[in-house]
Amino acid sequence: MQGIILWKPLYYTSIVMFVLSLVLMPISMQWSIITILALITLWSRIPGFVHFVFNKLAMTDLFALIVAVHAGWFIGALFGVFGIMFARIFGPYEWFPYTLRASISVFVAAASVPLILSITGGLNVVTLFLFEIVAYIVYYLLVIMFWREELMLEIALLPAVILFDFALNAIIINRFGDAFTDLMANGFSSGWPFLIFSAVIMFFVFLSRNAEKIAAIFGIKNAQKPQ
């Protein structure tokens, strides 16, 4: 069963995380930014709790990659696992095998970032593609090894995977890759990151509130995963 969101704890937690990012600014700009990215990651997971087809809208992989590139693979790996596992507190009915597989795959992908960077030389679209390829090799291996009954469903979701995880993230890296690098290196030198942050959060709030209706427009039912 999906669709139940613990809205009040989510709102309070969001406020705490935002205030924490402000408190961290004079202490550690890097951790302030990581906290903001974690907050956006948290909200990007919410539509998937309402309807599983929106799982691939989550920005966990992209931000885990960015953090791994700038703060080290281990912090990036922990960021990815935190973004998946912690968010689930507010969507407690997400299919746990999916949560587990996604956590393991993003951890392994983040651990491979030093090798990926030695090939690509920096944060770019090729880096993103290699990161995603590692993550999905691990993810689908886990499905084949332990949850083979879900394989056909995962294959059916591949078009959404390719669109959201590869195409949209590639566009973000292409458009904002330098800005992310600048942000991680120099911090909030202007007010625009907060404007973007607010716009992104509002988008995911709207999508979360209307995910079932949007999915219904395309005739996609929120079917229960295999038990």
Q: How far apart are CA 212 and CA 147, in angstroms?
A: 26
Q: How many CA atoms lie within 13 A of 143 on its CB side?
A: 18
Could you give the 3-state DSSP secondary structure of residue 122?
A: coil
Beta strands in the chain (DSSP E): none
Instruction: Tell me the C-alpha to C-alpha distance, in Å, between residue 83 and each of 58, 61, 188.
Output: 9, 9, 22
What is the model's pLDDT at position 128? 84
Per the listing, tokens 């591949």 go with 158
152: nearest Cα among 142, 144, 160: 144
CB 94 within 8 A of CB 224: no
Report whether pLDDT(100) > 90.
Answer: yes
* Amino acid code (one letter) for 107: F
Q: How confident is the model at residue 184 (pLDDT cuts 50, 70, 90)?
A: low
DSSP 64-103: HHHHHHHH-HHHHHHHHHHHHHTGGGGSTTS-HHHHHHHH
Q: Say whether pLDDT at 189 is over 60.
A: no
| pLDDT tens digits for range 51-79 | 676 777 788 888 899 899 888 999 999 99
With the CA atoms of 113, 118, 122 and 123 taken in that order, what torsion angle do they form, in degrees rounded to the nearest 10? Answer: -30
The tokens 């690509």 sit on which residue? Answer: 120
Closest CA to 207 of 13, 18, 22, 57: 57
Is residue 37 within 8 A of residue 152, CB to CB? The reply is no
Which pLDDT belongs to residue 123? Answer: 78
Which residue is it, tokens 């005739």? 219
